[in-house]
Amino acid sequence: MKIMLNFRIFPTRKKIAIILYTDLKKVKLNNGEFLWLDTIISVLLGIFLNSPNSDKITNKRNIEIITNKERLEIWLSKSDLTTAKEIVDLIIEKQKLVS
């Protein structure tokens, strides 16, 4: 069994990644958690540099796929998190069946 990903890197360039379930180590959905320490440091630097910045810093939402050979991150800029979670859960379930 395998996973076949078809996605665009740039508007004109496509990439196809084929990952075997036997090579799969970990699949994880990162849903954009808030980074407290980075935000505090950014605000303090803004105060010292006289350019206050009150933006909250968060991790970008992505699906992280780790295999024996590589680490792949699929960024979810305008994607539905519910659908992304369903995909990750499906991959994890199929991985359990194969191993």
Q: What is the mean pLDDT of residues 78-89?
A: 84
Could you tell me the pLDDT band of residue 89, with boundaries at 50, 70 and 90?
very high
**Average pLDDT in the chain:** 77
Per-residue pLDDT reduced to its tens digit, 16-67: 778 888 888 999 998 776 667 777 777 777 777 776 665 655 667 888 889 8
Side-chain-facing half-sphere of 61: CA atoms under 13 Å: 11
Contact of 95 with 27, CB cutoff 8 Å: yes
Could you tell me the pLDDT band of residue 96, with boundaries at 50, 70 and 90?
confident
Residue 1 neighbours by CB under 8 Å, 6+ apart: 20, 21, 94, 98
Kind plus residue range of the DSSP H or E element containing 32: none
